[in-house]
A and B are shown apart, each in its own frame.
Chain A
Amino acid sequence: MLATDQVVALVGVGILLTALYLQAESFVAPLIPTIALQSLLLAVLLGWLAWTEHSVDLAVVAGVVVAIRGIGIPWVLRHQIKAFRWKVREIHAAHRVTGHALAAVALAVIAWFVFEETLGPVFPSPAYALPFVLLVQGLLMLATRSNTLVQVIGYLEEENAIVYAAAILVGGFPLLVEIVVFLDVLGVVLVGVILSIQRDVTGTLEEGQEETLSG
């Protein structure tokens, strides 16, 4: 039987691989099943923890993550892609695959070191640094991409990091279920509303207004 630490670390490396892929891939369409996969891996971990710690909260969160972030939001995103059709190719990211991949790896190592240096002694194994690493990966995605859908996926990655952290760092957070549901509803609403507004007003998902905005 696997120990909790091992499961945490194995799932963690899997999640990190998906994070690397999310950062390096330049097409938008493959990112959606990847974030779904990441959410599913997380749900697997949550389910395992719920089983070993007999925590109903975690089981509910696992269910919510699978339902909303594993299935629901990817469905909404795919629906949005269909509405844009051929225009969902990331224009800026295509030449930057190398830079993005290397940045993701470098930042993962740095974030891991930062967490280990500051909070290493508190947690039993280095695998507990992974939620923070995932959080930083999500931030990197938000900072380096200019396509709205991809930024949404980066935000979803951050949310996964939060649930991950809540699950393994503190073993359950009082309002976790409410917060997760709230965040997911927020995600769906925002994605739906703002993307359709963007489609209405600008017709594209890329950011292009920096010059005009700074006047």
Chain B
Amino acid sequence: MDPTAQVVNVLQAATVLLLSPLLAGIAARAKAWTESRHGPSVLQPYRDLAKYLRKETLLPAGSSRLFIVAPLIAFGAYLTIAIVVPVITPYPIPFASTVDFLGGGLLFGLAGILTALAALDASSNYTALGASRSLSFAALAEPTLIVVFFAVAVITGTNNPYVTNNLIASNFSVYLSPTHLLVTAAFFLLILVETGKLPVESAGLMEFGMLEEGRTFEHSGPLLGISRWNGWMKQFLLYSVFLNVFLIPWGMVSTPTVGGALENLILLLGKLLLLVAVVVFVEATFAKVRLFKIRDFLALSFSLAVLSVFAFAVLGVP
């Protein structure tokens, strides 16, 4: 096997692993800035992780092995996704052919369901609430996700995110086609739901606004550290996919060297900052919608996704 490719492989996994807390820290700092607060330092998530790893683990009475194992398996799933989607390379790295786009979506689903099951296992009210809510809305978000995959597939004819990235980066008219624009919009709305941003979820200490965050309420110590890390990795991965495949696919250096990968890494950080700015803007502008309106939100996202496929049928792709 090509050693350079292996190094890039490891580099990509390490990027996702190590930089996702940083992204979360930047996002928290930016949101605090919009609220006229000083906000925590951008390195706070790392300190939190260190703190969690030192603390003791308490298990709720009546919980089973699943409670311990679920965050770990989810961790593994997210790491797998990390080497499958385009993060720092526009060409497939050696392990990228493990699963395609659809498989990546299924891995996200696996992590989600395990976390929800562990939450139910904890037999606590808040975690059960979080689990039931997140699963109900996931059920509505899944069709949108599938149709987004269809849209990607019809644009390029394959389900390979790398091919999509190349096609859209090289053909500006494809970028501007209604199919692509609509699917980008639909995916953005989906990201807001999946990563738990306003106007869908209000994170923090507001239990009634929690969808996903409520699921990890009962974990403690290192398990809580792993669970939080999972959330950060999920956010990092979703943002990367959105940026590299849909929104800003340009600029990636395709020379298969470590230097090229590092350049792309810097570029990725820049793009992520941009996306964080957009998301923070959205969060600051909209109030949280009532719970039953989230269904409307998801229905709209679904409609946009279906319309994008429909637009392809009507227009074709130039």
Judged by a CB distance under 8 angstroms, whether A104 is at the interface is: yes
Given contacts A98-B295, A105-B306, A109-B306, contact A13 B300 (CB under 8 A): no
- The CA-CA distance from A109 to B296 in the complex, in Å, is 20
Residues of A close to B299: CB separation below 8 A: 24, 97-98, 101-102
The answer to whether A17 and B307 have CB atoms under 8 Å apart is yes
Residues of B close to A66: CB separation below 8 A: none
Q: Which of B38-87 contact A (CB under 8 A)?
A: none
Shortest Cβ distance from residue B51 to the other chain A in the assembled complex, whole angstroms: 42
Residue of B nearest to A3 (CB): B318
Given contacts A13-B178, A97-B296, contact A102 B314 (CB under 8 A): no
Q: Which of B283-318 contact A (CB under 8 A)?
A: 293, 295-296, 299-300, 302-303, 306-307, 310-311, 313-315, 318
Interface residues on chain B, size class: 10 to 19
The answer to whether B303 and A24 have CB atoms under 8 Å apart is yes
- The CA-CA distance from A85 to B299 in the complex, in Å, is 30
A-B pairs under 8 A by CB, number: 59
- The CA-CA distance from A10 to B179 in the complex, in Å, is 10
Q: Which of B89-125 contact A (CB under 8 A)?
A: none
The answer to whether B306 and A129 have CB atoms under 8 Å apart is no
The answer to whether A102 and B313 have CB atoms under 8 Å apart is no
Q: Is the interface of A mostly helix, strand, loop or mixed?
A: helix
- The CA-CA distance from A6 to B293 in the complex, in Å, is 36
Q: Binary interface profile of A, 4-36, with partner B (CB < 8 Å = 1, else 0)? A: 001001101110110010001000000000000
The answer to whether B303 and A127 have CB atoms under 8 Å apart is no
- The CA-CA distance from A112 to B315 in the complex, in Å, is 13
The answer to whether A126 and B313 have CB atoms under 8 Å apart is yes
The answer to whether B314 and A98 have CB atoms under 8 Å apart is no
Q: Binary interface profile of A, 101-115, with partner B (CB < 8 Å = 1, else 0)? A: 110110011001000
Shortest Cβ distance from residue A11 to the other chain B in the assembled complex, whole angstroms: 10
Residue of B nearest to A12 (CB): B314
Q: Binary interface profile of B, 13-40, with partner A (CB < 8 Å = 1, else 0)? A: 0000000000000000000000000000
Residues of A close to B307: CB separation below 8 A: 13, 16-17, 20, 105, 108
- For the complex with contacts A16-B307, A127-B314, 18 further pairs of A-B residues with Cβ separation under 8 Å are A6-B315, A12-B314, A13-B178, A13-B314, A20-B303, A20-B307, A97-B293, A97-B296, A97-B299, A97-B300, A98-B296, A98-B299, A101-B296, A101-B299, A101-B300, A105-B303, A108-B310, A127-B315
Q: Which 6 A-B pairs have the closest CB atoms?
A: A98-B299, A97-B296, A13-B178, A9-B315, A101-B299, A105-B303
